[in-house]
Amino acid sequence: MLLAGGCGDAEWEGGSPRVGLGGPCGDTGLSGPPSPPRQGSCFQSSRREKYGNVFKTHLLGRPLVRVTGAENVRKILMGEHHLVSTEWPRSTRMLLGPNTVANSIGDIHRHKRKVFSKIFSHEALESYLPKIQLVIKDTLRAWSSNPESINVYHETQKLTFRMAIRVLLGFRIPDEELSRLFEVYQQFVENVFSLPMDLPFSGYRRGIRARETLQKGLEKAIQEKLQNTQGKDYADALDILIESGKEHGKELTMQELKDGTLELIFAAYATTASASTSLIMQLLKHPRVLEKLREELRSKGILHNGCICEGSLRLDNINGLHYLDCVIKEVLRLFTPISGGYRTVLQTFELDGFQIPKGWSVMYSIRDTHDTAPVFKDVDVFDPDRFGQGRSEDKEGRFHYLPFGGGVRTCLGKHLAKLFLKALAIELASTSRFELATRTFPKITLVPVVHPVDGLKVKFFGLDSNQNEILTGTDAMLGATV
């Protein structure tokens, strides 16, 4: 069958585009522009309504098959390595490095996933949890002590970067150097999807320089860590990665370790910051949800007299918080950080009655699939109860709900990402009061990941054990004189 397209053409045009922007360790990293930047999701939804769930459009001037719907997405995700293959742009492949999970295919990809999978085991997550809590507590304390409102999206980017460096990798980098590395890393991320033109002042050249600086800093930190942890039990992702490599018969080289750590930072950074910002925005919009979270924490013996009970935040306890799980699921459904994943067709196959030719590119859309899934009622409404035991809308069929992708490239770090979001939600519900610092909620942009156009301006206030605001600075002095 001929394939209708977003540009009005009713049949295939020539060419063989090579576009592939899946995420590291899966399809949960930065995905590049999901649609024409000036028209956004409305452009794609109008094309979907006109042409159906499989149609031809263009990305960065090149033709692309856009795919929506659980069954169509399932065929693509389950067809990895034989029907389709992930393929990043040349600039992204070069900047991320040749030794990454994202850049590997076939048996090499399967082997690397085995090595990396141990990083996200139950035992590993248990060891990360106290450090994650500490980083979040310190961050919220800093936000609450700031007399001005903060830019939540920018601050959560710094938070997830710090979490990756301090918790995942176990690097003891001084705060000043960490801030410098964060600025360099932002420059790296801003240019990781640039045109692969190695010219002076080009984005690609800036990306290369940022990568070189990051790699030098990472090598120094890795060497220091290896010297200081010899003979000790491993307790962070880098330790586990090194041990896992040995267990699978291959000791990782320094270059592989540098590429692996950079990929871990990349995987943990933008999408987690996006989801964290969306979580805070929804808790602001829906105070009843926040109060229901607090009720669950109290009923489970985690929150008592305004304080988190010592020793109560173990991994099993957090996993037993069913309403909290529903809240995180709903944030990821309605505000999926990325639009989807990209694949190159290895052999011609049929999809929804259309022939998808070998060599073409396809994009499976997570966001569109969530928005059109028949299993979700009132799809535009933020309703965590849809995932509760009474409804369980996500259980009515596979691939209707896929915030972490699926198939052999399912995000390896999905359990860590959800744990981080849950720990953040618990701290927000327990130790902070926060309010919107602008008159209205900002609009949302989808590029390169979902985030508020103004970053979301919020004022945070610390709470004492009686859930009263902690007065600091000028406010405390004024209170003392009254």
For the annotated binding site for heme, the residues are 411
Those residues whose C-beta lies under 8 Å from the C-beta of residue 95, and which sit 6 or more positions away, are 188, 191, 192, 204, 207, 208, 211
The pair of three-digit structure tokens given for residue 124, joined into one six-digit string: 């590993």
Separation in Å, CA 364 to CA 56, 82, 283, 367, 369: 12, 16, 30, 9, 9
Q: Which of 416, 409, 448 is nearest to 102 (CA)?
A: 409
Pairing relation of β-strands 361-365 and 62-67?
parallel
Residue 155: count of CB within 10 angstroms of its CB: 22
C-alpha 428/C-alpha 449 separation (Å) is: 23
C-alpha 254/C-alpha 242 separation (Å) is: 10
Pairing relation of β-strands 432-436 and 457-462?
antiparallel
Q: Which of 408, 340, 348, 341 is nearest to 16 (CA)?
A: 348
Which helix (H) or strand (E) segment holds residue 187: the answer is helix 175-190
Please check whether residue 337 is in contact with residue 274, taking contact to mean a CB–CB distance below 8 angstroms. Answer: yes
Task: Please give the single-letter amino acid code of residue 68.
Answer: T
Q: Collapsing DSSP states into helix, strand and coil, what is residue 142? A: helix
